[in-house]
Amino acid sequence: MNDPNLARGKKEKEFLDAYQQYADAIYRHCYFRVYNKDLAEDLTQETFIKTWKYITEGKEIKNTKAFLYKVAVNLIIDNSRKKQTLAFDQVKENGVSVRLYSMESSIIDGFEVKEIIKILDDLDETYRQVIVMRYINQLSPPEIADILEISTNAVSVKINYAMKKLREIIKIKYHES
């Protein structure tokens, strides 16, 4: 016997578990794409609202983490089409706590988070996106590939190219050799 209330309760629990597990990471991802705390909060909230609507329509999600990131990425793209965001001043004003996970330490040693954010802003959006996903959100290349709907190899190539560009930007901006 299929009890619709039981099924709905299970979906609600899975959704709430996903929220608990991924909300901070989705927020962090949104923030490092839009550099605005309020907008990042709105995008995070909208990500979970859209996901809940998708679930309540009876659709199944195979990989919750990838699905949430994909929804967030699409919302960020939609938002950037609506208006251009120039928000590094807001980073100075509002600040944000972030840990850069496992990024090559030789690249970031001696830099403040605000400086790293400014350096990332000089990257093309495609490359900034993979750097944020990989080193700030700690997503694996296969997870990034799922979200961006490209091959894992393409993700690795983009990450390597982005790191090369970061080194070049640092050399130019900070006259390092």
Instruction: Give yes or no for residue 156 having a pLDDT over 50.
Output: yes
Least confident of 40-49, 59-68, 122-131: 122-131
Mark whether 6 and 66 lie in a shared domain.
yes
Are the C-beta atoms of 61 and 15 separated by less than 8 Å?
no
CATH number at residue 146: 1.10.10.10
Instruction: Give yes or no for residue 14 having a pLDDT over 60.
Output: yes
* CA distances (Å), origin 74, targets 31, 68, 90, 98: 14, 10, 23, 23
Q: How far apart are the first and last CA of the chain?
A: 70
pLDDT averaged over every residue in the chain? 80
Mark whether 53 and 28 lie in a shared domain.
yes
Instruction: Give yes or no for residue 124 having a pLDDT over 90.
Output: no
Please give the average per-residue pLDDT across 29-43, as a whole number: 91
Position with higher pLDDT, 45 vs 163: 45
Instruction: Give yes or no for residue 110 having a pLDDT over 60.
Output: no
Mark whether 46 and 123 lie in a shared domain.
no
Give the confidence band of 32 by pLDDT, cuts at 50, 70, 90: confident
Are the C-beta atoms of 47 and 98 separated by less than 8 Å?
no
Mark whether 130 and 162 lie in a shared domain.
yes
Least confident of 50-54, 77-81, 105-109, 167-171: 105-109
Task: Kindly give the interhelix angle for 64-82 and 37-56, rounded to the nearest 10 degrees.
Answer: 130
Residue 95 lies in a domain: no
Which of 30, 65, 88 is the C-terminal boundary of a domain? 88
Residue 13 lies in a domain: yes
Mark whether 73 and 132 lie in a shared domain.
no
- The predicted pLDDT at position 106 comes to 46
Mark whether 110 and 84 lie in a shared domain.
no
Please give the average per-residue pLDDT across 20-33, as a whole number: 93
Mark whether 13 and 75 lie in a shared domain.
yes
Q: Calculate what percentage of the chain has a pLDDT beyond 70.
A: 75
CATH number at residue 33: 1.10.1740.10
- Would you say the pTM of this structure is higher than 0.75? no
Residue 94 lies in a domain: no
Please give the average per-residue pLDDT across 20-42, as a whole number: 92
Mark whether 117 and 84 lie in a shared domain.
no
Instruction: Give yes or no for residue 112 having a pLDDT over 90.
Output: no
Show the domain range for 155: 102-176
Number of separate domains in the chain: 2
- The predicted pLDDT at position 75 comes to 93
Mark whether 2 and 84 lie in a shared domain.
yes
